Structure 1
Amino acid sequence: MNVAVLGLGLIGGSVLQALAAGGHRVVGFDADPATRATARTAAARARTGTRWEVAGTVRDALAGTDLCVLAVPFPALPSVRRELDGYLGLVTDVTSIKGPVRELMGGLRFVGGHPMAGKETSGFRAADRGLFVGCAWVLGLEPETETADWLELAALVTGLGARVVPATAAEHDRAVAGVSHVPHLLAAALTGAIENDPLAAALAAGSFRDGTRVAATRPELIAAMCGGNAAAVGEALDEVIHTLRALRTQLSEPDPVAALRPLLAPANATRSAWPPVPGDQAELPARKDVLLRLGRVGGWVIGVDRPHRKVTAMRPETDRNPS
């Protein structure tokens, strides 16, 4: 497949390199000349057969391609979208919010996407062609989504080693608010608590490191992510605040140890059961209702049979009725 990747940061650069390593012809573009230069240098050093091209303009990158991957930050999408007018290929994105992106993409053959992978570091130098191996990659299914387009992307994504999770934009945005966006805000709050406490900073160890890793993400990226999904993030944050207040109340009880235990037990059970254990493998028809049900029960697609419009799917062992 001939693919254009617009935006060569961590995710876009990783997509570019992964597709090139998979044998696809890939052309990248980034608005930053320094990033383009870095990507060109890296391409020249890559092994033959895994190299990519870097274009000087969006139009040059799109020329002759079948697929465009939008990997620019959400605030930059409207201007990039205008340059896609007249593009006949399939379009997807890697943005961490889906509802607003879906609204922007009217008039295009569009399937929203979001690989649940990343690092606290950013930029093309942080890119890694193996970043998506084993990760969940959401592909949006909406009333306007063409099933053939969805299957084409699902085949491409599973070819990169990712697990495809079908979901609507609204379902995605609600889910990631709790598991991705709010954790960035919590990490920022936890990190801020030691800003003026050098003793605490010296004593911080594993729990602080693991709980605050994403606070090292560039602030503008966190703000765009959370602000772009403000309604869902607000609701998820309210739930966390409610839980924190309940925990704070228990600390004032005569026996705080006994009072805290029942509130902490459900979280322990949930975390101990994560990630979901794969159950049975199934061959499913590539119907929207079947695919969306698979996603809603926590299942994923690992293979695609496009000619027969079927998928090979896995579901958690807790679910026994994928269709």
Structure 2
Amino acid sequence: MTTPATPSADSAPLPPPLFDTAVVAGVGLIGGSVALGLRQRFLARRVIGYDANPDVLREAEALGVVDEVRAMPGEWLRGADLVVLAAPMRALTPLARDLAPYLNPAALVTDVGSVKAGIAAEMEALGVRNFVPGHPMAGSERGGVTHARAALLENAVWVLTPTDHTPLTALSRARMLVEHLGAAPVVMPPEAHDALVATVSHLPYLASLALTHMVARDERLSLLAAGGFRDLTRVASGDPRMSRDMVVENKVALREALARFRRQLERLEADLDEPEELLAAATEGKRTRDSLPVVRRSLLPPKHDLVVAVPDKPNQIGAVTQALGAAGVNIKDIEVLAIREDGGAMRLGLETLEDVAHASQILREAGFEVRGRS
């Protein structure tokens, strides 16, 4: 865990964070990535990790994902002005019930669950006024806080699903949070979100299960199931229990999506006797698939990152690069993170962890606040 440095006398004060105290309840892959984003982008003065699993908390604290940890809800929650519910779907509603009595009424509360209608109704029933349901469309087959990365959320679509009772000020704050984490907010009603996700996320999971089951029941198929089949069935590698809970929670919308999918399969089956119709279907499929946006996060060699807070004063980028250049630190990549109007941060891509440690020392001595990530 890093300790903020004291700026030198000639440094401008750092811009205030968006939040004083943020609580991430459920420090797994997504929750841990949110916590890292809050810390590395200087969006919260303090990030507290809450989880019922003490092993998860120990790991999150050891990895520097959070500043401190808590294992039980209590009055300490009233000091938080941001609370992110990041438990798996099955545990999300019980988590909300446990925390609701202690929440600061003025705090922004959001979640990262993949189904929205249920948690939106539950939080309304609990009287949590400033709740904005959310769903970052990001993830990985590898779960747990060990694989959390702030970069997991960058460039991802993050759906916000306010209800008729969501205050506009809360929605505005949630949008600001999402944008400052590097994601792209999209706003729609909870029911519309669940219907769309049933088609683009939950239906492909069930289709992947069906295809992998066919292979599992015929050893000859496994000999021929190469790269294309693996790509098509990738989502079947997700956590079985979490995936089960996800699709069951959205079963009403998913049944409707399954019915539409069956009709599409029946149409394609009929087109086997109509080559021109099948060609038209294939052409439409290629055009649609080729037009889908691609978020490239893994095409470049991995680098070790150092995030530097940049006060709102001239020549700060030059001051950083000149200090490191004079010390022989090779900067492989630079990204300016647009955080706030009165200041922000920049990300430096360095070759080794040794470079990160060396650069951190140099920049702290120059009065900059830094945080490393890899």
**TM-score, scaled to structure 2:** 0.68
Give the letter for the 2:122 counterpart.
L
Report deviation, 1:304.
10
Distance across 1 between alignment mates of 2:79 and 2:184: 28
Quick one: structure 1 residues 305 and 99, their matched pair in 2 at CA, closer, same or farther if it must change by over 3 Å? farther
Partner of 1:40: 61
From 173, 177, 180, give the equivalent of 2:198: 177
Distance across 2 between alignment mates of 1:186 and 1:121: 20
What is the 5 A alignment of 1:289-308?
A: none
Partner of 1:142: 163
Give the letter for the 2:93 counterpart.
P
What is the 5 A alignment of 1:201-280?
A: 201-251=222-272, 253=273, 257-275=275-293
Is the contact made by 1:155 and 1:304 (CA closer than 8 Å) also made in structure 2? no
Deviations 1:297-320 (A, max 9, x none): xxxxxx9999xxxxxxxxxxxxxx
What is the 5 A alignment of 1:77-92?
A: 77-83=92-98, 84-87=100-103, 88=105, 89-92=107-110
Quick one: structure 1 residues 178 and 26, their matched pair in 2 at CA, closer, same or farther if it must change by over 3 Å? same
Distance across 2 between alignment mates of 1:54 and 1:9: 13
Report deviation, 1:195.
0.7
Distance across 2 between alignment mates of 1:93 and 1:246: 39
From 90, 108, 112, give the equivalent of 1:94: 112
Greater relative contact order, per chain length (Cα 8 Å cut-off, separation 6+):
2
Distance across 2 between alignment mates of 1:102 and 1:142: 7
Count residues in correspondence: 273
Partner of 2:85: 70
Give the letter for the 2:293 counterpart.
P
From 182, 185, 206, give the equivalent of 1:161: 182
Deviations 1:30-69 (A, max 9, x none): 11122112112112xx7xxxx5222122337624110110
Deviations 1:263-283 (A, max 9, x none): 32322222222229xxxxxxx
Report deviation, 1:196.
3.2
Report deviation, 1:157.
1.0
**Which segments of 5 or more consecutive residues in structure 2 lack a partner in the other structure?**
1-18, 295-337, 342-374
Is the contact made by 2:120 and 2:163 (CA closer than 8 Å) also made in structure 1? no
SS in 2 for 1:31: coil
Give the letter for the 1:192 counterpart.
H
Shifted more, 130-139 versus 197-206: the winner is 197-206
When the two chains are superposed, the root-mean-square deviation of aligned CA atoms in Å is 2.4
Partner of 2:31: 12
SS in 2 for 1:130: helix
Return structure 1 stretches of 4+ with deviation > 6 angstroms. 303-306
Partner of 1:311: none
From 139, 152, 159, give the equivalent of 1:131: 152
Deviations 1:168-223 (A, max 9, x none): 10111111111111111111111111113334323322321211111011111111
Distance across 2 between alignment mates of 1:182 and 1:54: 37
Quick one: structure 1 residues 240 and 304, their matched pair in 2 at CA, closer, same or farther if it must change by over 3 Å? farther
Distance across 2 between alignment mates of 1:16 and 1:71: 10
Residue 55 of structure 1 pairs with residue 73 of structure 2:
no
SS in 1 for 2:74: helix
Is the contact made by 1:17 and 1:128 (CA closer than 8 Å) also made in structure 2? yes
Report deviation, 1:86.
4.3
Give the letter for the 1:96 counterpart.
S
Residue 113 of structure 1 pairs with residue 128 of structure 2:
no
Distance across 2 between alignment mates of 1:164 and 1:214: 24
Residue 3 of structure 1 pairs with residue 22 of structure 2:
yes
SS in 1 for 2:115: coil
Is the contact made by 2:77 and 2:102 (CA closer than 8 Å) also made in structure 1? no
**Which segments of 5 or more consecutive residues in structure 1 lack a partner in the other structure?**
277-302, 307-323
SS in 2 for 1:68: strand
Is the contact made by 2:92 and 2:113 (CA closer than 8 Å) also made in structure 1? no
